[in-house]
Amino acid sequence: MTCPALARSGPPLVDGHGRRVSYLRVSVTDRCDLRCTYCMAERMTFLPRRDLLTLEELDRLCSAFVERGVRRIRLTGGEPLVRRDVMRLLGSLSRHLDTGALDELTLTTNGTLLASRARDLAACGVRRINVSLDTLDPDRYRAITRRGDLSQVLDGLDAAQAAGLSVKLNVVALRDCNEDEFEDLIRFAHGRGMDLTLIEVMPLGDVGAERADQYLPLDVVRRRLARRFTLEPLAYRSAGPARYVRVAETGGRLGFIAPLTHSFCEGCNRVRVTCTGLLYTCLGHEQGRDLRAALRGSEADVPLQAAIDDAIANKPRGHDFIIGRSGGSAVARHMSVTGG
C-alpha cells in the first residue's frame, strides 16, 4: 500500500460547540474472537466482508482526517488484530508519524493475538496500546468472554512489554462479577509498570443480559478503593476521556471512565468511524454519516471532506446513555460495531 504523505492543508475540524476534533478512532472490523458478555451477543451476525472498507479506503479516510488536523488515530474492532493484513494498514499510516503530521498511532486489543503481533506493531510505529482485561481468574475470564484463554492475554502482555510497547489495561466494572478483583488488578498492572483504567458498562446493543444487572457506578467503586488506597488527583490527561489519580501505595496511575455517573462530553475531541465507513461523532447517538459513498463516488477527496465537515458541524453536545430496566439499550448497535 503506497500513499503520499500529507501535511495539514485544510482548516481544523471544529464542531458547533467549539470543540476541536483531534482524535479519530477507526474500527477495522466488527469481528472478534471473543464474545464478551457486556459487548456482544453470544451468537453474533457479522457483516459481509464485501461491506467493509478496504485497507486502501481506510488509509485514504484516515489520511483525510490527518489533513484536517487529527493528531491521534486509534484502530479498534471488534478485535483489530483479526483483520487480515491489518499490519499493512498500520505500516502505511505510519508515514504520518514520520512526517510529524500524526502524534500517535495506536490500537485497542483484547490481547489474544498480541504475542505474535507485538514486534510488528512496534515496527509500524505503535508505541502505546490498550488491552482489555477484566479479570485475572482464568475461569472467570472464560465466563466473561464466553470462550477466552487468559494465558494467551498474559503471554501477549509479556510480548508487548518485551517489544517496548507501553500498555494500559482497560477493565470494565461489572456488578457482582469482577468487583472483588479491582485491588488485585491495580496491583498487577502497577507492579508491571502499566496504567489501569476502570470503565462503566455502556448501554450499546442487545447482549442477552440486563444492563442494570451489569452496571456498577464508578463513584461507588472509587469510594471503596479509597478505603484501601490513597488516591491522589492528577492533572495528567491522555487523549481519551479518563480522569486519573495516582495510587500512592503502588506509585501507578488509575483512570476512571464514567459516562453515566460523570459525563465527559464537554471536552470531547473524538469521532469514530466504523468498518463500513459510517462516521459517528458521538458514541451515544444513533445518527451516523456515510463516508463510504463519498469515498467510492469520487477519486477526489472533496466530497469526502464535505461529508466530514457536515457531520462535525452537527456533533451533539452530549451522549444519550441511560441504563434502566426497559428491556433494551440506549443505542441499538453493539460496541463491537463502533469500536469503543
Q: Is 224 annotated as a binding residue?
A: no
**87 annotated to a ligand binding site:** no
Task: Determine whether the annotation assigns residue 270 to a binding site.
Answer: yes
Cis peptide before 78, with omega less than 30 degrees from 0? yes
The response to whether 315 counts as a known ligand-binding position is no
Q: What long-range pairs does 150-158 form, CB within 8 A, spacing at least 24? A: 152/111, 152/112, 152/113, 152/115, 153/110, 153/111, 153/112, 153/114, 155/114, 155/115, 156/109, 156/111, 156/112, 156/113, 156/114, 156/115, 156/118, 156/131, 157/111, 157/114, 157/131, 157/192, 157/194, 158/115
On whether 25 is known to bind a ligand per the annotation, the reply is yes
Is 272 flagged in the annotation as binding? yes
* Residue 268 known to bind ligand: yes
User: Is 275 annotated in some ligand binding site?
Assistant: no
Q: Annotated binding residue at 77?
A: no
Q: Is 9 annotated as a binding residue?
A: no
* 79: alpha, beta or left? (left if phi > 0; alpha if psi -120 to 50): beta
Residue 255 assigned to a binding site:
no
124 is in an annotated binding site: no
207's grid cell: 447482549
Annotated binding-site residue? 36 = yes
Q: Is 132 labelled as part of a ligand binding site?
A: yes
Backbone torsions φ then ψ of 333, nearest 5 degrees: -75, 150
Measured between alpha carbons, how far is 26 from 327 in angstroms, rounded to an integer?
29
Polymer length in residues for the chain: 340
Instruction: Strands of 33-103 (E only): list them.
Output: 72-76
Measure the CA–CA gap between 149 and 133, rounded to whole angstroms: 11
Residue 23 labelled as part of a binding site: no
Rounded distance, CA 40 to CA 298, Å? 35
User: How many C-beta atoms surround the C-beta of residue 95 within 10 A?
Assistant: 19
Q: How much is the CA Rg of the chain, to the nearest whole Å? A: 19
Q: Which amino acid is at 283?
A: L
Binding residues for [4Fe-4S] cluster: 32, 36, 39, 265, 268, 282
Binding residues for S-adenosyl-L-methionine: 38, 78, 132, 202
Binding residues: 25, 32, 36, 38-39, 74, 78, 108, 132, 168, 202, 265, 268, 270-272, 282
Binding residues for GTP: 25, 74, 108, 168, 270-272
